[in-house]
Amino acid sequence: MWKRLISMCFVFGLAATAPPVLAQSRCDVHDRIAARLDQTFGEVPIGRGLQSPQRMFEIWHSARTGSWTILLVRPDGMACIMAAGTAWVEARRATPKPDPDR
């Protein structure tokens, strides 16, 4: 029983320290992240929206490479990379069919 308890404490202790390490590597001043996305991946912002007064999300994309990044931007100018990937496909809005009764 003690061995299991000590193991659980060790695992949860490591889990508790992981987020700050990830946050440091994935968060920075918005202007620095924006410059890196532009210079390294050729990405530009294609949209943004507010989730709340304290949270804005931006979507960055490169038409040349298909790479994309989603940033969480805070009012203090800090930004965090929430997700990134490749093979972005632009969604096409369906054109409504004409109503035959009109």
Structure confidence at residue 90 as a pLDDT band (50, 70, 90): confident
Q: Quote the pLDDT of residue 3.
A: 44
Mean pLDDT for the chain overall: 79
Structure confidence at residue 25 as a pLDDT band (50, 70, 90): low
Residues 54, 91: Cα–Cα separation, whole Å: 28
Q: How far is CA 57 from CA 31, 38, 76, 87, in A?
A: 15, 17, 14, 20
3-state secondary structure of 31: helix
Q: Model confidence over 4-22: pLDDT tens digits?
A: 444 444 444 433 333 333 3
pTM for the complete prediction? 0.66
Q: What is the dihedral of CA 45, 51, 54, 55, to 10 degrees?
A: -40
In percent, how much of the chain has pLDDT > 70? 75
